[in-house]
Chain A
Amino acid sequence: MKFDLHLRSAVRSRLAEVANEMSAWEGSAKLGDDAARRLRESVHFFEHTTTSEALQCAGVDGSGDFPALAYGDSFVYLTVAQGSVYTTDNVHGLREIDLGLPALFDAFWIPESEQRRSDTWNAAFARLCGMAVREVVSASDYKELKQAFSGRHTPIDQLVEQMIRPNASDSSNVAIQLRTTGELAMALRLLRRAPQEAGVRRILVFDSTLTLPLVTRRDVSLFYEHLKRLCCVEARQRGVVLVGLSKSHGLPGIGFIEDAVRDVAGTGATEAPEHWYLKIPSEEVEGWALPSTEGRRVPPAGAVTYLVRFHRNVPVLRVDLDAKYWDEHLRDEEQVRQLFQSLDYCAHDQRCYGYPYPVKAGHDRASLTESERVVLRKQLIDEAVRAGLKRSLFRDASQPTGH
């Protein structure tokens, strides 16, 4: 691109148009007086938390190489997920505990053939979760939510049958499927492994939301939707608070929300109040909703959503909780405050002040460096060549996909 372009009036006017559109989008989130008042009422502050009672906080994250390699018209994808569990410690603040749970690693080969693709997807899901696809679907409460939100009952077999299994070359969809499945599968393993101790609050944080994109569709679903809800079910049964923590809240008009918080806190316009949370209202529970959440399904089906700010250096974070768990344990505001204080305590590590360290640890461990990707690809090719494949047919898939 030549850089004298920005001087041209056409460009300038088009940029102005876009800016207007953006502003309108923000504006749509503008609060009426009534909504502003109710919003202010829902803001809660909590103490900066430097001591904690017995607490276990686990973090998980997934990543991979999507795709790592192309062989002819088939693709190989690598999935990695890691989890780590910390407990409060007088000396170190937090101390990791060993659950003896190895990192999750999977290599997934997707042939570009309709029928075989479905089988390989099922096998990959089963490897990652340690459960058959059908078992996940039947144990999860996603199908009940789907019935409620789509207005129709779909039998399990049909759900399994009609699950979306992307094409080998549809790398961005494959990537989402695999990364999310890997992360949730790791969460499931942690939930099943973590020791239960009386009087210890246990939190499992994963780096995403509880959004269920296809819950209103009658037939099609995504495997990870079932799995996400299965994690909710398992967490409930084990008394673990499952927290979806997301840096992108997906809400327009966050500025208005922060204004409301500043009003309550009584701080100046340039200061960022910290140590607060508020619950995103829903028609179902509170009987009103923010204009900005219209048509966006925040909170997601089966979930409640909070916004929280632990520290001024870190932006507002979104927290999704399982609605059933919330209903059973968190209707009392005091309980909610304690939960956020526990998270605040976990967010005081020097490496990521203002963000819960266990999630960062999971993230750091799961992410692949470029040299690791290169090495894994090489290794994979060497193995394949040993198994009789042709070296010349391998392509580094990161080139054509611009990965």
Chain B
Amino acid sequence: MSLATLEALVRALGPRFGVLAESSTSQLTVVARNGDVAIGDLFLLPCRRGPDRVYVFRATEYANILNRTLEMSDVARNKLTMPDSYFAEDLSEEQLVELRGLVLGYAEYVSDRQGWSFNRPRRLPQHLTDVFRVDPDRSESGQVVFELLRTQLGDTGLVIGHLLAGERPLLAVPVRLPVAALSHHIGVFGRTGCGKSNLIMVLIDGVLEHNRAVHAGVTIGPRASVFAIDPHDEFRTWHAAVGGADGVRGIVRAYSDAERTDLVAPFYYLTARDGLEDPLEARVRLSRAEVTPDDLVSILDFSEQQIAFARQLFAEHGERWVGQLFSGAVGGDCEANTEYLPGTISAVERRLGFLTHGNTRLVSRFDPEMGFTYDSLLPDILCALERGRVLVVDTTLLGELEQFLLNTVVARSLFALRRALRLADSADRLRSEILVALGVDEANGRVGQRSLAQALVAHLDRGELPYLDGERVRTPDELPLVHILVEEAPSVLNPARMRFGSIFRDISRQGRKFGIGLGIVSQQVSEIDPGVLTQLNTQITMALGNADERREAVRTASSDIGGFAQELQVLDKGQLLLSSSLRDIALPAQVLDFDDLRGTNAR
């Protein structure tokens, strides 16, 4: 179907809804045969004033103004006092329908590009313009909307759902998240049960598909990686246990051996459980050697003294600082620590209690003299992320602090690595920058995170950390876009916690430069540090718990979503509003149901 002319568009739209009687940017009054309108309905107004244009209007409120001459009080009185009276049924009587909402903009045909280009509204449609309602039951209508909004929708990227017209999705209008959005920061806000997990499942699926297409040479551009903490262990098997779609496991099982080697190995699923089902699953483990005071500050409350003390300890002992603290070797008799009160020391020890042996399934002891050597999956995790992998991390057996610690350590280490990469101009320089980035400075007696650094350099030399192309150092653009999902974000991203700095604040400010994006998933907007909120490039707003949260969501969105305020109230399961600094307009969408997408009944 060619939709290059206004005539062709109008033909595809089917019968008109009505005629425009009056208009302003926020309100249309339409004389219509039928007042059947739903909140969120899209209306198209083809306009011939000047070049051919089609305005797109989205209704957020509507009112049927009853028959203009009808006196309701007369009717009521007659109905009451004249028992034999009736109310004749008119053929679709013309009504005045008042639609309040938003002119999203207008599309104009650009012959050079042979397509419609969408613009923010400047002029308004003419009086008596025909008004068409986009009917989700007519696929042609959807196609028209797709053509008109094409420049806003984009042709590439991860499909997350379909544009909503009223309460129904337009199946001809896919709503996509550009792959590049993954290396920027994304906020996902919605109350429990609104469909956040399903959305993430759909995104993960999209990323896997993308990587597969890049691998097959169908899509050009870097791969993408996702590090997804999964507190409910849902992404691996999704709804398989209850007859729904299998999760990442099912997707990976459908791969060829070669695809599994190139796109999944060494693992896609990390867990603190011991019994593993599949060679592509791994037992997640960090080492105490990888934990720095900065990580702990990001997830725990400390006083200034306590921080200073921890930093001092780390400066002195490097990767062995936690072991030192727990061994009791740090104390009053030790010269260097006289400035710290015993209270401070024991307070830090107490706070780190979740790392003591027997209290953690995540963090392994590190005490080479006692035979506890460096034992961690972190170097493999970092290498996997640098090769374009989706990693789902089951944290059901981990405490909340361990979960946050894992997230923090991975994010910080990756951030440090990418920074080192930026600074390096040769292979040798890269090796030394990795050491520097991890605080290792042998010449000055600083141990830093030596074990991790050595492990990473070894991976680099084996080619598992793909920073070198022969002797040439790769630039971050050649590496995958990495997205790190922070679930239950308010626990680590609230302003109080971030008082003394946070690794996530650094990433939120600078991550983009290094191709690392944060995905902030939260039930509330208001709990998140405003500094972090201002860094969000993409905001996905789902059903929120109350009016305050909706107001916050409107305030923080990068594009103006004020016109959608009414609708945020009535968002249903799986419905969202996608706003992005990369686009002019916010797009309401119905997210794909992953069960439909990949379930047994899938296409």
Q: Contacting chain B: which of A93-101, A166-174, A225-233?
A: A93-101
Cβ contacts under 8 Å, B258 to chain A: none
> Within the complex, which residue of B21, B68, B78, B90 is in contact with A84, where a contact is CB–CB below 8 Å?
B90
Quick check: A353 and B91 within 8 Å, CB to CB?
no
Contact with A along B66-80 (1 / 0, CB 8 A): 011111001100110
Quick check: B127 and A349 within 8 Å, CB to CB?
no
Cβ contacts under 8 Å, A248 to chain B: none
Q: A50-B84, A372-B21, A378-B127 are in contact. Are A350 and B79 (CB under 8 A)?
A: yes
Q: Contacting chain B: which of A36-44, A144-152, A326-334, A357-365?
A: A357-365
Quick check: A375 and B128 within 8 Å, CB to CB?
yes
A241 CB to closest chain B CB, in angstroms? 20
Q: A369-B68, A371-B22, A379-B128 are in contact. Are A349 and B87 (CB under 8 A)?
A: yes
Task: Among B21, B85, B128, find the residue whose CB has the most chain A CB atoms closer than 10 A.
Answer: B85
Closest to A85 in B: B91
> Within the complex, which residue of B87, B89, B126, B127 is in contact with A350, where a contact is CB–CB below 8 Å?
B87
Quick check: A351 and B87 within 8 Å, CB to CB?
yes
Q: A348-B82, A351-B75 are in contact. Are A94 and B88 (CB under 8 A)?
A: yes
Which B124-169 residues sit within 8 Å CB-CB of chain A?
Answer: 126-128
Contact with A along B10-22 (1 / 0, CB 8 A): 0000000000011
The answer, yes or no, to whether B86 is at the interface (CB within 8 Å) is yes
The answer, yes or no, to whether B301 is at the interface (CB within 8 Å) is no
The answer, yes or no, to whether B94 is at the interface (CB within 8 Å) is yes
Which A267-326 residues sit within 8 Å CB-CB of chain B?
Answer: none
Cβ contacts under 8 Å, A91 to chain B: 89
Cβ contacts under 8 Å, A48 to chain B: 84
- Contact count band on B: 20 to 34
The answer, yes or no, to whether A86 is at the interface (CB within 8 Å) is yes
The answer, yes or no, to whether A2 is at the interface (CB within 8 Å) is no
The answer, yes or no, to whether A367 is at the interface (CB within 8 Å) is yes
Closest to B96 in A: A369
Cβ contacts under 8 Å, A364 to chain B: 67-69
Q: A353-B82, A375-B21, A378-B127 are in contact. Are A367 and B88 (CB under 8 A)?
A: no
Closest to A50 in B: B84
Q: How far is the CA of A61 from the CA of B25 in the complex (A)?
A: 36
- Contact count band on A: 20 to 34
Question: Secondary structure at chain B's binding surface: helix, strand, loop or mixed?
Answer: loop
Q: How far is the CA of A379 from the CA of B90 in the complex (A)?
A: 29
Quick check: B91 and A350 within 8 Å, CB to CB?
no
The answer, yes or no, to whether A116 is at the interface (CB within 8 Å) is no
The answer, yes or no, to whether A92 is at the interface (CB within 8 Å) is yes
Quick check: A92 and B74 within 8 Å, CB to CB?
no
> Within the complex, which residue of A348, A369, A372, A378 is in contact with B86, where a contact is CB–CB below 8 Å?
A348
Q: How far is the CA of A104 from the CA of B29 in the complex (A)?
A: 23
Contact with B along A333-375 (1 / 0, CB 8 A): 0000000000000001111010001000100110101011001
> Within the complex, which residue of A86, A365, A371, A379 is in contact with B88, where a contact is CB–CB below 8 Å?
A86
> Within the complex, which residue of B82, B88, B128 is in contact with A92, where a contact is CB–CB below 8 Å?
B88
Which B103-132 residues sit within 8 Å CB-CB of chain A?
Answer: 126-128
Quick check: B75 and A95 within 8 Å, CB to CB?
no
Which A81-121 residues sit within 8 Å CB-CB of chain B?
Answer: 84, 86, 89, 91-98
Closest to B29 in A: A371
Cβ contacts under 8 Å, A379 to chain B: 127-128
Q: How far is the CA of A317 from the CA of B174 in the complex (A)?
A: 63
Quick check: A349 and B88 within 8 Å, CB to CB?
yes
Q: How far is the CA of A361 from the CA of B21 in the complex (A)?
A: 21
Quick check: A96 and B88 within 8 Å, CB to CB?
yes
Task: Among A350, A376, A378, find the residue whose CB has the most chain B CB atoms closer than 10 A.
Answer: A350
Q: How far is the CA of A357 from the CA of B86 in the complex (A)?
A: 10
Which A42-95 residues sit within 8 Å CB-CB of chain B?
Answer: 48, 50, 84, 86, 89, 91-95
Q: How far is the CA of A93 from the CA of B78 in the complex (A)?
A: 15
> Within the complex, which residue of B70, B71, B87, B94 is in contact with A93, where a contact is CB–CB below 8 Å?
B87
Q: A364-B68, A372-B21, A375-B21 are in contact. Are A92 and B78 (CB under 8 A)?
A: no
Quick check: A349 and B86 within 8 Å, CB to CB?
yes
A369 CB to closest chain B CB, in angstroms? 6
Sample of 14 A–B contacts (CB below 8 Å): A50-B84, A92-B86, A93-B86, A93-B88, A95-B89, A96-B91, A348-B84, A348-B86, A350-B75, A350-B87, A351-B70, A351-B87, A365-B94, A375-B21
Q: Residues of B with Cβ closer than 8 Å to A?
A: 21-22, 67-71, 74-75, 78-79, 82, 84-91, 94, 126-128
For the complex of A and B, 4 pairs with smallest distance between CB atoms: A93-B86, A94-B88, A92-B89, A96-B91
Additional 10 contacts, C-beta under 8 A, given A94-B89, A96-B91, A349-B88? A92-B87, A95-B88, A96-B88, A348-B85, A350-B74, A350-B75, A350-B87, A357-B88, A367-B69, A376-B128
